[in-house]
Structure 1
């Protein structure tokens, strides 16, 4: 499923960071920092699929040299708490080709260059071998000063000021959603992304009278696994696939995420079947069929392609199982009211809402999982110190 992510961060000296180190790490290259007198060598890093620099048309030639560009950015700032670079982190759609991902990342970076007059250093990363294999992403480092023929000049106050920074970033978030959706459309995908909050999307759905979509959006944002739990669950998924068995999450956090994803998939299936039933009902009524005939046509549509091979009783039973309701509630399913309530109840059950005892148990299990993850991170740190991990 296509997902949306765009975050904007700053590279600050006050946090002990430098633009040269950030650029070297994201591009898996080596940069000698003139200001620090240090060599940042990340050539052993894996997973960088492409990297390139975009700059304004009148920028000097040295701007295409990564080391020269970011050393210039560091040299231009004199304060100990200066912000020397800005990072735009983007989730790339896994449903499109490698070339398409590079193309939309380049288009977004070019828009940053044209809109703010900065240089943009783009690095496209593949999913980590132990993480979610859909996690294609890009890191775009931009200068915090305008780049012209004279070099780095004025600060990009448009992004720094509270009154203008928020709207500017929101505009770029919308542009990134447009780029992704265009790429998904060209790839023949039906999925689309939306940069707005779930609450904003839900309000729009209600204003348009789409109560099914509003119910689907009435959920909490998906819990993030984190690197340690993600690696554990990824290994278990691969093992389950190799052994030909169903995947069962090993961690509490993984089980929570898995339950949410299953609930979302169930809701999407129910929504599709209810819409088919509603359309079939409307078409049958327009053709002058009676309520019973129209209802059976809707039931067959909701039951799927195999409905032609079923008798009327089998169709009713299949739709009842899909909606999770007792037999005899077909009309309520067709109108969508009872089905929507069932969906909400089943979603709440999958998410463990409304049960204090379960919530306390889940909280304890989450605390245990955090302790296990912390111990795993400490072990990895010890392994790195001993030279056992790159």
Structure 2
């Protein structure tokens, strides 16, 4: 069963802001790149943007199954208000290129119903984010996948600063023991894998999840680029898109690589089979000459030193 985890940064320098990114994960097309606009988009809500003095309405957004904010135990109640939360994050970061939040995307198994998917995300958030004092805003989306089925996934946007008093403390970013440390991503992936396998055990399912990447699994295959529902829809209608072209090129390269590996395996197997047949023929020849003419005929003057049919030592 397929499942995966990705993590991205949300920063002003990239044209994406915190409330805006939160909204995007629950909603529709973002025409305005402000923080609150993205936040409204992801949650499928109407949010007022204090920084840009606008109101963004994405209540018509489809495929948003659920949106929820989880704060650490003892956090002030206002942190679970999406508009107040992300406007406060924006107000607290002064630099024009400030990193405002991070986003984790969890691919959710199709064999789980919506309530089970919610619980999986909540368990992951509590184990990896609120346990660090961070506030997490997640939304579950279920757009159409390229195979015609659903593509359930969760967007989890979380603060970089832990809750401290009635506000936020020092950022937990950094490449050494911080949120930018590669080990943190590895720990989160292992955590998600464990949570999913525990759910499988509870459901008496034989499905086992392995979130290691292709390289870690020893699979020599190029990862296929992800395409969204819009590209999928266009491709199904016969339109050629750049994303679709890239996916087809990757698939072609992977198929060529697999064909080459299969050819190499066949050639190696044929070579080994030929050697085995030659060895059997050699043994038969030795036995024949030994029986008909004695050991000297088969092995020369020294029967203790085994030779091949042509007189070379083996």
Under a length normalisation based on structure 1, what TM-score does the superposition of the two structures give?
0.54
Match for 2:76 among 60, 81, 98? 60
How many angstroms does 1:225 deviate by? Answer: 5.9
Q: How many residues end up aligned between the 2 structures?
A: 240
The 1:7–1:17 alpha-carbon spacing in structure 2 relative to 1, beyond 3 Å, is same
Task: Name the CA distance, whole Å, in 2 between partners of 1:161 and 1:259.
Answer: 34
Match of 2:198, SS state, is: helix
Alignment of 1:167-182 (within 5 A): 167-182=183-198
Return the alpha-carbon distance in structure 1 between the equivalents of residues 264 and 231 of structure 2: 23
Mapped pair 1:82 → 2:98: yes
Q: Measure the CA separation in 1 of the matches of 2:136 and 2:49.
A: 19
Whether the 8 Å CA contact 2:48–2:55 is kept in 1: the answer is: yes
Identify which of 128, 131, 148 aligns with 2:164: 148
Unaligned runs of 5+ in 1: 203-217, 237-249, 265-341, 350-390
How do 1:180-191 residues align onto structure 2 when only pairs under 5 Å count?
Answer: 180-191=196-207
Between the aligned partners of 1:18 and 1:229, the Cα distance in structure 2 is 25
Cross-structure match for 2:52: 36
Q: Alignment RMSD, CA only?
A: 3.3
Q: Residue 29 of structure 1: CA displacement?
A: 0.7
- Which residues in structure 2 correspond to 1:231-310 (within 5 Å)? 231=233, 253=247, 257=251
- Structure 2 partner of 1:224: 225
Contact in 1 for aligned 2:145/2:232 (Cα 8 Å):
no
Measure the CA separation in 2 of the matches of 1:142 and 1:119.
6
* Residue in 1 that maps onto 2:175: 161
Q: Secondary structure at the match of 1:201?
A: coil
Cα distance, 1:101 vs. partner? Answer: 0.9
Q: Secondary structure at the match of 1:199?
A: coil
Match of 1:345 in 2: 262
- Does the Cα contact within 8 Å between 1:54 and 1:119 map onto a contact in 2? yes
Q: Distance in 1 between matches of 2:264 and 2:156?
A: 37
Which structure 2 residue ranges, 5 or more long, are not aligned?
A: 23-39, 239-243, 267-314
Partner Cα distance (1:348, 1:124) in 2: 44
Residue of structure 2 equivalent to 1:199: 215
Q: Which has the larger radius of gyration?
A: 2
Structure with more relative contact order (C-alpha pairs < 8 Å, separation 6 or more)? 2
